[in-house]
Amino acid sequence: MSSLHLSKPPDSHHRMLLYKEAGIRGAWKQWFICSLLSLLHGVISETTRALDIMAKYPLIDGHNDLALRLRIIYNNKLSRINMHNIPHVATDINRLTAGHVGGQVFAAYVLCTAQDKDAVRLTLEQIDVIRRVCTENPELELVTTAEGMRKSTKITCLIGVEGGHSIDSSLPALRMFYQLGVRSMALTHTCNTPWAESSSSFYSFYQRKSNSLTEFGKAVVNEMNRLGMLVDLSHSSWETARAVLNHSTAPVIFSHSSAYAICNNTRNVPDDLLLRLKENGGLIMVNFYRSFVACSNTTNVSVVADHFDHIKHVIGTESIGIGADFDGAQGFPQGLEDVSKYPALIEELISRNWSEEELAGVLRLNFLRVFQKVEKVRDDMQYTLPSEVEIPFLEANNSCRVILTNPVRVDSSYRNGKASLMPARAIAWFIILLVQLL
């Protein structure tokens, strides 16, 4: 006889238990698969919807510092660069296209250490490189009007100067920047100008009391209103921002700032200023830099969306835009590392029940509306003559600033390059006087 022992077949009770367990496992598997498919469908649906909305309303971003990186890495030598694929930066044409960017404000920025030195020359060079980027690549188009941005089928470029130190306290310099295509200017960067105050105290330039907005600062704002230039309050102190909101006849923008209530960095905007901004008809374009978004070194798309939700709650969606600050800062949220990743934010806002109408405004329509209002103020001031206000010499006194006077007659010994430190006649009179005193 074989030693193999055959197990006893299960009785009916055991069979019922096995069938029941199998049924539970099958139902659980079915539930899991259905839930997974539903979740995937939701994700795919949100992704598709985000891309569809962005195809209809291509994003206008309020602040990008690619020009700064082009100077730092390539010394503005565009002939050495493939603008479609640039290593070590967050912005190039391929990624702008992938991110559904339809318009970009490129910053012409120079360091605050150039203030009272060669800031104007350096700014001109940055304007030049932006103009070249946007006119030498067929996918891009340099524009100067809201209508130009609205009608273009390319990626439009608008030039903004970042920091009032770039005009060296000169309204004629401001007007010449406008003639070159500049359509926005931040009143300060991380340094005070002689006429406006920065949110930062990093630099020692013009540190004095009651410096929020001087009389010349008001003249700058007036002239920007007359020209049709967007007054940008990002980087300005809150007191300067309040003073400008009291004074400007045109809407203003914060081109790359976030909500102070979510991250208490002074570069961000507190709720009382948000309310004033809404009254002004202006725009806050949310910054993505992690130190302004999360006040820490790590963050994600969800925390960025919290800023949008908060501002929406305080002043509504009509006053919100996007100003990511790519290539101006180092360190962006996971999932928003470069200009190709904007759809991730729109997906997140869709998941928070933002409507297509609200997203259309955030993506581009709000900026176009504000820009058009600024142009309307310009048109209303068309018979106002250019301002001839000059800053008082003592307010902008520095070693590179001269008082313009008639030329002084120079001794021939100076002209031939053989001048001594003191003319001989003066030395003789000095010796005679000294002898008499002794």
R_g (Cα) of the chain, nearest Å: 31
Please provide the size of the chain in residues: 438
Residues 6+ apart with CB under 8 A from 326: 61, 64, 65, 66, 90, 91, 288, 332, 338, 339
256 catalytic? Reply is yes
63 catalytic? Reply is yes
Query: Strands, E, within 20-169: which ranges?
Result: 59-64, 101-109, 140-142, 155-162
Candidates 337, 267, 279; CA nearest to 307 is 267
Q: Which residue type sits at 97?
A: T
pLDDT tens per residue, range 393-420: 889 988 888 877 777 665 554 444 444 4
Active-site position among 100, 165, 235, 307: 235
Q: Residue 349: what pLDDT? A: 98
Active-site position among 61, 65, 92, 358: 65
92 catalytic? Reply is no
Residues 6+ apart with CB under 8 A from 279: 245
Active-site position among 100, 165, 256, 307: 256
**Terminus-to-terminus CA distance in the chain, angstroms?**
146
> With the CA atoms of 37, 43, 45 and 50 taken in that order, what torsion angle do they form, in degrees rounded to the nearest 10?
-170
Active-site position among 189, 197, 306, 338: 189
> With the CA atoms of 142, 148, 154 and 159 taken in that order, what torsion angle do they form, in degrees rounded to the nearest 10?
30
Rounded Cα gap, residues 253 and 333, in angstroms: 23
Question: Which tokens belong to 392?
Answer: 């008082």
Question: Which tokens belong to 205?
Answer: 């330039």
Residue with tokens 């891009």: 140
Give the other-Cβ count within 10 Å of 199's Cβ: 22
Q: Residue 399: what pLDDT? A: 81
Q: Residue 33: what pLDDT? A: 58
pLDDT tens per residue, range 254-269: 999 999 999 999 999 9
Phi-psi bin for 76: left (phi > 0), alpha (psi -120 to 50), beta? left
189 catalytic? Reply is yes
Which residues, given as ranges, of the chain have pLDDT below 50? 1-10, 15-20, 22, 24, 37, 40, 413-422, 435
| Residue 392, CA atoms < 13 Å, CB-side half-sphere | 5
52 catalytic? Reply is no
Q: Residue 43: what pLDDT? A: 52
Active-site position among 162, 197, 232, 306: 162
Active-site position among 325, 338, 347, 348: 325
Residue with tokens 């507190």: 270
Active-site position among 61, 63, 100, 348: 63
Please check whether residue 102 is in contact with residue 60, taking contact to mean a CB–CB distance below 8 angstroms: yes
313 catalytic? Reply is no
Q: Residue 35: what pLDDT? A: 59
Q: Residue 398: what pLDDT? A: 83
